[in-house]
Amino acid sequence: MNRRASRIFRRGPRTQAGAHPVDLADGLEHAHGLDRVIRTMSVAVQRTLRPGPVKDALHGVQVGHPAHPPLTDVPMGCWISVGVLDLLPGNRRAAQALVATGLAAAVPTALTGLADWASLHRQQQRVGLVHAMSTGTATLLYSASFVARTRGRDGTGRVLGYAGLTALLAGGYLGGHLAFRQAAGASHADQVAHLVPLGWHDLCSESELPEGWPVQRRLGYISLFVLRDGDEIHVLTDRCSHLAGPLHQGRIVGDSDELCVVCPWHGSTFRVADGSVVHGPATSRQPSFESRVLEDGTVQVRPVG
Ligand code: FES
């Protein structure tokens, strides 16, 4: 039978730019016209940036936070300061030095951003691409501003600087949208401390856990990754801290000294013993649980405080 809806209560996302900047950013999330470029660029970045210490450093694995957002402070701080200095007399050399410092800092900032961007969801990548185009335009304008200043054409240097600042602020706004509306870079693992009461909780029977093969089990509101390895039972939250991929569908690698799970979505690798990050793009530890087996074979878990 062919049934048609008589009333529709939910609308799809708005794709038209509205009166507020956030409407424009929301619209970018659904700008499918960018997808071809995004696909080509993502593949190129992933082929160039092979898993290893350099890629991990660009993501910020070693520091436990994404490296890109704090690095953006340097060029933004320098170039906003240039905008202030250019309003005041007698700051020619200081302004020139800050333009140059911002340009030097833009290189690692762009590289870290590119590394993170290649492993985002498509909606995030659409906003991220326009963010990169805005900040890239700002960098080009500040480069031209620097050249003009070194040749003594300070007036042109100032005009180019303010044009660069406009592009920079637009890019910064989209960066905020990525971080706070789309949660790129935030941990997507379940917030165990708020969802699981303290103490031991029954989870399942030990006999239903296959040896060396991860399974998913539910504990109240959250899903858990459970892996039986001989006498040990490793338990982590199942939603990957990077972008919530299902860890129980991941690959188990390593030996029992350092058994790890590789997320099926973007390859983040976590130690199953404590959830610590071995390889990015994830930078946040996967929340882990202590486990014990009662005499009747019941597996109990409790959050690691
Ligand atoms: S969701 Fe991206 S690595 Fe797990």
What is the value of pTM for the model shown? 0.87
Residue 240 Cα: closest atom of ligand 1: 4
> Which 8-state DSSP code applies to residue 180?
I
List average pLDDT for each run of 10 residues in the chain, which is 305 residues long.
Answer: 64 58 90 95 93 95 95 97 94 95 97 96 97 98 97 95 97 96 93 84 93 94 94 95 96 84 96 94 95 94 85
The CB of 245 under 6 Å from ligand 1? The reply is yes
Using most ligand atoms within 8 A of CB, pick from 125, 265, 285, 286 the residue to mutate for ligand 1.
Answer: 265
The CB of 268 under 6 Å from ligand 1? The reply is yes
Q: Calculate how far, in angstroms, residue 188's C-alpha sits from the geometric centre of ligand 1.
A: 9
Residue 188 Cα: closest atom of ligand 1: 1
Q: Which alpha helices (H) appear in the chain, and where do they start and end?
A: 21-29, 35-48, 53-59, 68-85, 92-117, 122-150, 154-176, 192-195
Q: Calculate how far, in angstroms, residue 199's C-alpha sits from the geometric centre of ligand 1.
A: 29
pLDDT computed for residue 255 by the predictor: 65
Query: Which residues are CB-neighbours of 129 under 8 A, at least 6 positions away?
Result: 34, 37, 38, 41, 117
- Per-residue exposure over 44-56, b if at least 16 CB sit within 10 Å of its own CB, e if not: ebbeebeeeeebb
- Per-residue exposure over 195-214, b if at least 16 CB sit within 10 Å of its own CB, e if not: ebeeeeeebbeeeebeeeeb
Q: Are 135 and 181 in contact (CB under 8 A)?
A: no
First to last CA, the chain: 56
- Residue 170 token pair: 């637009």
* Angstrom distances, CA of residue 43 to CA of 31, 36, 38, 118: 19, 11, 8, 8
Q: Calculate how far, in angstroms, residue 215's C-alpha sits from the geometric centre of ligand 1.
A: 17
Q: What's the CA gap between 49 and 229, in Å, rounded?
A: 33
Residue 282 Cα: closest atom of ligand 1: 3
Residue 280 Cα: closest atom of ligand 1: 3
Q: Calculate how far, in angstroms, residue 124's C-alpha sits from the geometric centre of ligand 1.
A: 14
Using most ligand atoms within 8 A of CB, pick from 56, 187, 242, 284 the residue to mutate for ligand 1.
Answer: 242
> Which 8-state DSSP code applies to residue 63?
G
Q: What's the CA gap between 233 and 229, in Å, rounded?
A: 6
Q: Whose CA is nearest to atom 2 of ligand 1?
A: 266
pLDDT computed for residue 10 by the predictor: 60
pLDDT computed for residue 192 by the predictor: 81
Q: Are 205 and 295 in contact (CB under 8 A)?
A: no
Q: Calculate how far, in angstroms, residue 62's C-alpha sits from the geometric centre of ligand 1.
A: 17
Using most ligand atoms within 8 A of CB, pick from 268, 270, 278, 284 the residue to mutate for ligand 1.
Answer: 268
pLDDT computed for residue 196 by the predictor: 83
Q: What's the CA gap between 31 and 36, in Å, rounded?
A: 11
The CB of 242 under 6 Å from ligand 1? The reply is yes
pLDDT computed for residue 107 by the predictor: 97
Half-sphere exposure of 150 (CA within 13 A, CB side): 10
Residue 267 Cα: closest atom of ligand 1: 3
Closest of 135, 124, 130 to residue 185, by C-alpha = 124
